[in-house]
Amino acid sequence: MLVVGQSASFTKKVTENDINAFAEISGDFNPVHMNEEAGGKSIFGGRIAHGMLSASFISAVLGTYLPGEGTIYLSQNLQFTKPVYIGDEVTAKAEVVEIINPEKGIYKIKTQCFNQKDEMVIDGEAVVKYLN
């Protein structure tokens, strides 16, 4: 049983290899992710990581730390608030904010990602089921 206020975080550096591998897995070869020139010409001023790559760190927190093994991922909303560049260190934070249904083990979890300058790059919430 989780309690409101319980929290966990996970930090990972985003490498060029990560972005290339994520493009292969996802099929998203948008040039802004794939080469420095296209990134440089874009509004972002440089090659950026896929938003879903940073979002995947939220999956890591929920799936391995809070709640961890046994978590069933019901929903997630994501606001991509700032770009993430190669070499950025992203910290995904999860905090239980509401027990939606204690019998069914349904929880609302605030999920946010920050870069190494503590700027929020993703804001959002997840709903998970966890009966352990």
Interacting positions 58-97 with a copy of itself (CB under 8 A): 58-60, 63-64, 68-80
Which x/- pattern over 35-54 shows residues binding a copy of itself (rule: CB under 8 A)? ---x---xx------xxxx-
Per the listing, tokens 């929880």 go with 107
> Are the C-beta atoms of 107 and 98 separated by less than 8 Å?
yes
What sign does the CA torsion over 81, 75, 12, 17 have? Answer: negative
Helix axes 16-26, 51-64, angle to 10 degrees: 90
User: Concatenated DSSP letters for 45-77?
Assistant: SS-B--HHHHHHHHHHHHHHTSS-TT-EEEEEE
Give min distance, CB of 25 to a copy of itself, in A: 5
Stretch that binds a copy of itself, among 1-9, 21-29, 96-104, 107-115 (CB under 8 A): 21-29
One of 2, 7, 9, 18 touching a copy of itself (CB under 8 A): 18
One of 30, 35, 101, 116 touching a copy of itself (CB under 8 A): 30
- Does the protein bind a copy of itself through residue 130 (CB under 8 A)? no
